[in-house]
């Protein structure tokens, strides 16, 4: 109960925020949400001036809007982050407790769960998704691509969807439109010869649609997103739109087209990341061309950190995850601290930045506030409204009193202020050792990890044994968030804390 009191007392102060003021005659803004795949915190030069990846589009976006420096994906791998982004709920509350889905996994989003596109659909928005889905398709144990792909994107709020089922290194390799393959995956392809820096990209063996080429996917997604925006410009602006663009890159296979080979100083990955930046730039140019940019809230972020081990840092001198420890899949900061850029003309101050801790689950509550929609108590349970931060306000208490992090292997961490507690030893992900049994370390070994990020951003000094008081306090907060089923306060808790 101590943890619950601590958590909800802060929430009652921080959460109730009215919708953003604006020109009511213009109606709610359009929403463009672009999610890069495995783009690291240190790849954009607006986050890392020493980056060896040219990112003029992201840098320009940062100059036009707000750059968040302490933003986190809810997981350090992709499927759970996508679930959290579209539902406002931590994915570890679902059946998926670790790892990611495959290309033939059944749908993960529950049939009765309110999602971000469904919320906006109810508000009169046209909703479109373009890109990597990776949230499962169908309801059988193994997706049957000869049947309608439902449940799927069109059953969770998207009017239309075009993209690929999962990561581009996972079969089947096929484009889907709405609830069917564009061309069925009737052929087979062998595994690629190279995994990382050998060129040619990496993918697993499996089913593939005739004519499908991995190198065509990112350009095809770009064309589809641009076509949607061009059509909006031609058709006028009778209805607001939500365009969700979860790019397939720079996740493997690293396949920059000829125009981007050698563009960076970080090998095939860096060249592909430069191509991602250019793709984002052309999508934003299409938004400008549509005449709707001034009425559009733009959010650009990444689903987790870059897959960039120490060997790549040494080889290229490029820190894809910036100054942070670890990489994609890890519980340490490099696994889940991500770029997060927001542009909204007339509301967000150009060239501004925010140091508050935020999470991608917060997008749902924030967009709900922006469009004037109310969130039911049984939805977006881990989503907090960032609207005051977008307005440049400095709330007396943090918007989020606590943030839960989750690694590929299912390892948990919780962040409260400057303190970060990790339940267990090791990275929980790709960086060796993934896990450590504390009983093998001898008497008195710490059972977990505790870091003060303001004093030790490298997560190099484990204070678990030195600060048992902090371990106890943060452990109680984490336990309460897990057991209560939510971290956003429900109406009853908010009313009780507010008083008569």
Nearest to 41 by CA among 81, 62, 71: 71
CA separation for the pair 249, 272 (Å, rounded): 7
**Is-contact 52 342, C-beta < 8 A?**
no
346: left (phi over 0), alpha (psi -120 to 50) or beta: left
Nearest to 369 by CA among 351, 354, 347, 349: 347
CA separation for the pair 312, 359 (Å, rounded): 27
> Residue 405: exposed, middle, or buried by beta-carbon count in 10 A (0-12, 13-18, 19+)?
buried
DSSP 461-489: S--TTT-HHHHHHHHHHHHHHHHHS-SS-
Question: Tokens standing for 452?
Answer: 């003060």
| Cβ count near 3 (within 10 Å) | 21
**Is-contact 248 217, C-beta < 8 A?**
yes
Secondary structure of 14-78 in HEC code, one letter for each residue: HCCCCCCCCCHHHCCCEEEEEEECCCCCCCCCCCCCCCCCCCHHHHHHHHHCEEECCEECCCCCH
Whether 78 is catalytic:
yes
Whether 72 is catalytic:
no
Task: Give every CB contact of residue 479 below 8 A, 6+ residues apart in sequence.
Answer: 3
CA separation for the pair 358, 258 (Å, rounded): 37
CA separation for the pair 172, 212 (Å, rounded): 10
Of the listed 134, 332, 405, 406, which one is catalytic?
134
CA separation for the pair 463, 438 (Å, rounded): 15
70 alpha-carbon distance from chain centroid: 13
393: left (phi over 0), alpha (psi -120 to 50) or beta: beta
| Cβ count near 21 (within 10 Å) | 8
CA separation for the pair 302, 244 (Å, rounded): 13
Of the listed 46, 72, 78, 332, which one is catalytic?
78
Q: Indicate which residues carry an active-site annotation.
A: 78, 134
């Amino acid at each position: 109960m101590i943890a619950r009191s601590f958590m909800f007392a802060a929430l009652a102060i921080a959460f109730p925020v009215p919708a953003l003021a604006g020109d009511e005659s213009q109606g709610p803004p359009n929403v463009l949400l672009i999610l890069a795949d495995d783009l690291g915190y240190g790849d954009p030069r607006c986050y890392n001036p020493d980056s060896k990846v040219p990112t003029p589009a992201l840098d320009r976006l940062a100059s036009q809007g707000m750059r968040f420096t302490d933003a986190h994906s809810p997981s350090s791998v992709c499927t759970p982050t996508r679930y959290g982004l579209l539902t406002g709920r931590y994915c570890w509350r679902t059946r998926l407790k670790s790892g990611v889905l495959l290309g033939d996994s059944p749908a993960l989003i529950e049939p009765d769960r309110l999602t971000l596109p469904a919320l906006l659909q109810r508000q009169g928005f046209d909703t479109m998704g373009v890109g990597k889905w990776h949230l499962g398709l169908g309801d059988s144990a193994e997706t049957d691509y000869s049947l309608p792909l439902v449940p799927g994107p069109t059953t969770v709020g998207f009017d239309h969807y075009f993209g690929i089922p999962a990561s581009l290194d996972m079969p089947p390799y096929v484009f889907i439109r709405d609830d069917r393959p564009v061309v069925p995956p009737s052929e087979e392809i062998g595994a690629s010869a190279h995994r990382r820096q050998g060129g040619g990209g990496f993918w697993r063996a499996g089913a593939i649609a005739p004519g499908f080429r991995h190198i065509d996917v990112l350009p095809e997604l770009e064309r589809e997103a641009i076509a949607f925006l061009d059509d909006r410009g031609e058709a006028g602006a009778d209805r607001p739109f939500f365009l969700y663009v979860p790019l397939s890159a720079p996740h493997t296979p690293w396949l920059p087209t000829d125009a981007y080979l050698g563009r960076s100083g970080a090998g095939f990955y860096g060249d592909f990341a430069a191509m991602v930046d250019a793709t984002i730039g052309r999508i934003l140019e299409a938004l400008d061309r549509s005449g709707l940019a001034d009425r559009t809230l733009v959010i650009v972020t990444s689903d987790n950190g870059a897959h960039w081990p120490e060997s790549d840092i040494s080889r290229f001198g490029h820190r894809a995850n910036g100054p942070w420890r670890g990489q994609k899949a890890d519980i340490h900061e490099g696994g889940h601290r991500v770029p997060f850029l927001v542009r909204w003309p007339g509301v967000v101050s150009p060239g501004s930045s925010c140091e508050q801790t935020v999470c991608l689950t917060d997008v749902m509550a924030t967009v709900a506030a922006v469009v004037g929609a109310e969130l039911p108590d049984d939805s977006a349970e881990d989503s907090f409204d960032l609207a005051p931060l977008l307005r440049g306000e400095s709330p007396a208490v943090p918007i989020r009193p606590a943030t839960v992090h989750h690694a590929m292997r299912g390892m948990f961490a919780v962040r409260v202020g400057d303190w970060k507690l990790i339940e267990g030893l090791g990275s929980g992900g790709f960086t060796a050792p993934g896990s450590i049994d504390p009983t093998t370390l001898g008497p008195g070994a710490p059972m977990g990890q505790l870091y003060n990020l303001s004093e030790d951003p490298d997560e190099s000094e484990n204070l678990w044994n030195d600060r048992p008081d902090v371990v106890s306090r943060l452990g109680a907060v984490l336990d309460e968030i897990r057991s209560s089923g939510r971290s956003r306060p429900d109406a009853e808790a908010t009313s009780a804390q507010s008083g008569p």
